[in-house]
Amino acid sequence: MSGRRILVTGATGYVGGRLAPRLVEAGHSVRVLARDPGRLRDAAWADDVEIVKGDLEVPDEVRRAVEGIDVVYHLVHAMGAGGDFAKAELLQAQHVAAAARQAGVQRIVYLSGLHPEGERLSKHLASRVAVGEALLGSGVPTIVLEAGIVIGSGSASFEMIRHLTEVLPYMPAPRWVRNFVQPIAVRDVLHYLVEAAAVSGDVHGTFDIGGPDVLRYGQVMNGYAVEAGLPQRPIAPLPVLTPWLASQWVNLVTPVPRAIAMPLIGSLLHDCVVEERRIDAIIPPPEGGLTGYRGAVRLAIARERSGDIESSWRSASAAGAPSDPLPSDPRWSGSTVFEDARERTTDASPEALWTVVEAIGGARGWYSVPLLWSLRGLADRIVGGVGLRRGRRDPDRLREGDTVDWWRVERIERGRMLRLRAEMKVPGRAWIEFSVEPVQLDSGEQGSHYRQRAIFLPSGLSGRLYWWSLVPAHQVIFEVMASRIVTVAKSGSR
């Protein structure tokens, strides 16, 4: 059945960001719900869907979003979120369930996690089970797809496997990593999700989905090594390496922060394998069969190397990171504001200057004292922050919601202004803003005016002490940054 009216929640996330355009391609009319629609403004498929602003924790906004909808995809997860994420996830699911029932929605589809029956689950997996049960109890026919490790370019699982394998000559690991897992390629997850919209009748329940390979953790690591052309890594079992300690290790040697690593590792405490294949009678496997683990790794590596990453785990906000935008006039509202402002006028063209600004961060760095940036990034990782390893989605272009190391793009006016909001651990809220304006030079030629602002709104005494302690370093870092950006733009070098 084609031409259905579909609502996708979680479209700014890893799976939702890939599902929405595929539903459009399948002939459906797609609406996406987002707390911040600006994060979808630059998505390649934004003009093909209806984007509505709303918060799943506000019942009235959920009800408005499901009006006139046939199928609801609930793809919102709070992995890595701070606070009582399980309570928040359950509340959101209850609002979706109630609104779907009231609006006469014909089907709900939810992506959950593989888990064993009758065992005590990690908090992350237990929350997914609770959400699935809330949706199944909605009175609306519901399909809950339970998947294990999802392998694809930009997935948190793949990033963790990739960096651990590439960085370490051997992998210290707890004994519980001898448990079995059944990875699934993201393309196969999307196949089941897309086809679920066409399932008719009263199909209702949970269904396991997984790839064709059942592997131990060591085989997962070394499967990546083979496809990446690396020597296979010996696994060294350590009985004292708890999930908490393992997450600290992952936090230090991979871009995946501790808040996300913890639930991923927690899911390894159990055998997470497909126990039934009832899904085959409802949604047949993809034409040509399911993708094997090494095939999925091969595809992900190719995407990573080409820079063609459709969506990424980095899209998720860091746990505890502030999400409020920069106030239009924080001083007027009575806030204490610290600011470091630098300006330059250059004969570099506005286009050349903007090209350098938009490409900042990631592999190109920050044009200023790399050692100091690295030390600050390491300190952030030690305390559980995101550090500098998240990098960028694209080396040249940014869009709202993208990550740039420990920053997130809050606002971009291409060619004119870029504002980044800090997601590192700081006692306050911080932004850095770059602007480019064309000017006429004394010579009569056209040049550019460059402005750079670092803004900090401290929280209490600790925030003030933090800023004052960094003033000497800021004098060097921000001065060098402004000078180098203008110099690179002028030389035409990147």
**Which DSSP string do the residues of 213-252 spell out, in sequence order?**
--EEHHHHHHHHHHHHT-PPPPEEE-TT--HHHHHHHHHH
**pLDDT tens by residue, 115-152:** 888 777 878 888 889 999 999 999 999 999 999 889 99
Pairing of strands 71-74, 5-9: parallel
- Among 81, 78, 131, CA closest to 108: 131
The answer to whether residue 231 scores a pLDDT higher than 80 is yes
**Average pLDDT for residues 166-184, to the nearest whole number?**
75
**pLDDT tens by residue, 414-451:** 999 999 999 888 899 999 999 999 999 888 888 999 99
Chain mean position to CA 365: 21
**Average pLDDT for residues 24-39, to the nearest whole number?**
92
- Among 266, 387, 314, CA closest to 155: 314
Long-range own/partner contacts, residues 371-377 (CB < 8 A, 24 or more apart): 372/473, 372/476, 372/477, 373/477, 376/424, 377/405, 377/406, 377/424
Least confident of 60-64, 262-266, 329-333: 329-333
The phi-psi region of residue 405 (left if phi > 0; otherwise alpha if psi is between -120 and 50; otherwise beta) is left
**How many angstroms separate the CA atoms of 478 and 366, rounded?**
10
What is the structure's pLDDT at 456?
93
**List of residues 6+ apart from 440 with CB closer than 8 A:** 446, 447
What is the structure's pLDDT at 313?
55
Domains and CATH numbers, the chain: 5-315 (3.40.50.720), 338-491 (3.30.530.20)
Are 113 and 77 contacting, i.e. CB atoms less than 8 angstroms apart?
A: no
Are 209 and 188 contacting, i.e. CB atoms less than 8 angstroms apart?
A: yes
Task: Tokens 């003033």: give the residue.
Answer: 471
Chain mean position to CA 17: 10
**pLDDT tens by residue, 70-90:** 999 999 876 555 557 788 899
More confident residue, 86 or 188: 188
Least confident of 148-152, 157-161, 387-391: 387-391
**Average pLDDT for residues 324-330, to the nearest whole number?**
59
Q: With b meaning 16 or more CB within 10 Å and e meaning fewer, what string describes 263-298?
A: bbbbbbbbbbbbeeeebeeebeeeeeebbebbbbbb
The answer to whether residue 350 scores a pLDDT higher than 70 is yes
Q: Which amino acid is at 93?
A: A
Are 161 and 118 contacting, i.e. CB atoms less than 8 angstroms apart?
A: no
Helices vs. strands in the chain: H and E counts, helices first: 13, 19
What is the structure's pLDDT at 493?
41
